[in-house]
Amino acid sequence: MSTAVPQLREILVSEESNLAKRFRALFSLKHLGAQGDKEAIEAIAAGFSTDSALLKHELAYCLGQTKNEHAIQFLEQVLRKEDEDPMVRHESAEALGAVGLTQSLPVLEKYLSDPSEYVRQTCELAIDRIKWENSEKAKSEELQQSAYASIDPAPPLPGSGPANIKKLQDELNDQSLSLFHRYRAMFRLRDIGTHEAIDALASGFADPSALFRHEIAFVFGQMSDPHSIKALIEVAGNEKEASMVRHEAIEAIGGIASNEVEEVLKRFVNDPERVVRESAIVALDMVEFERSGEFEYAIVPDSAAAATA
């Protein structure tokens, strides 16, 4: 166990610490958890006692990113809590998919008929991801090396040579295809990363599924390209949009280094939706981090860089 774990755990579970600080502690713990530190994983899980859905969904995300079997029990517990916020349950199901073990299939199958569309669709994706990861096909597919270290809800579509963005955009938006395939097109477009690819991704904001739209915003957050900012501001400012999608757009805006960003984010710190307000606080902290030139976003040295769910 890293000696930093008890201190980080204390910051994470304390309702007195400010949210931005708790997020930073969480990212340090995630880094340790990804190296196989079980106490770090347990410390992250201890954070579920909070009543902030934003923080809880981030805990679930980080547990998934550790890709450690030890995280599964905690994630299952959250998914099974039917009165938990759907955003948090969604993230738990997705995280089970990220860990990628077939032992999680029964619980994911159970919630394929959940009343929440977020949860249902996420379970569908996670099942397909686990089946893919454990398939022969996964071994034979030639995926281009991604610039992103995250474990995604779906691998990018294979492809080399000149990319056909129009075709990828069609597959992204084709509702007759499985969500898993459409996500694969999404992550391929992310990896291509040109302005044309960003415009193709932005077309996904017209999709009827809020889960799908929130993933587009998530991908823009990873890309941190100012070219996506116009679409993100539109989504974040749309009060009719689902709060999970607005939250993701706000955090994505926080990751884009540009002068207008801070002013935009400040608009949301008093939003009636709690998850939107809290996202703005975390995003402003990310902007602060970028500006300060601090070496690490996380609290203990030598941790992974910031990337929220």
Q: Reduce the DSSP state of residue 156 to 3 states and report it.
A: coil
Total chain residues near Fe ion (CB under 5 A) = 1
What is the number of the residue whose Cβ is closest to Fe ion? 309
Touching Fe ion, residues 250-309 (CB under 5 A): 309
8 A C-beta contact, residue 23 and residue 50? no
Residue 304: CB atoms within 10 Å: 16
We find the least distance from the C-beta atom of residue 204 to Fe ion, in angstroms, to be 15
Is 57 annotated as belonging to a binding site?
Answer: yes
Is 215 annotated as belonging to a binding site?
Answer: yes
Q: Reduce the DSSP state of residue 159 to 3 states and report it.
A: coil
8 A C-beta contact, residue 157 and residue 168? yes
Is 15 annotated as belonging to a binding site?
Answer: no
Q: Check residue 126 for interaction with Fe ion (CB under 5 A).
A: no
How many helices (H) and strands (E) would you count in the chain?
17, 0
Please identify, using beta-carbon distances, which residue of 33 and 86 lies nearer to Fe ion: 86
Please identify, using beta-carbon distances, which residue of 163 and 252 lies nearer to Fe ion: 252
Please identify, using beta-carbon distances, which residue of 12 and 119 lies nearer to Fe ion: 119
We find the least distance from the C-beta atom of residue 203 to Fe ion, in angstroms, to be 20
Please identify, using beta-carbon distances, which residue of 76 and 278 lies nearer to Fe ion: 278
What residues line the site for Fe ion (CB under 5 A)?
Answer: 309
Binding site, by residue number, is 57-58, 90-91, 214-215, 247-248
Binding site for Fe cation, by residue number, is 57-58, 90-91, 214-215, 247-248
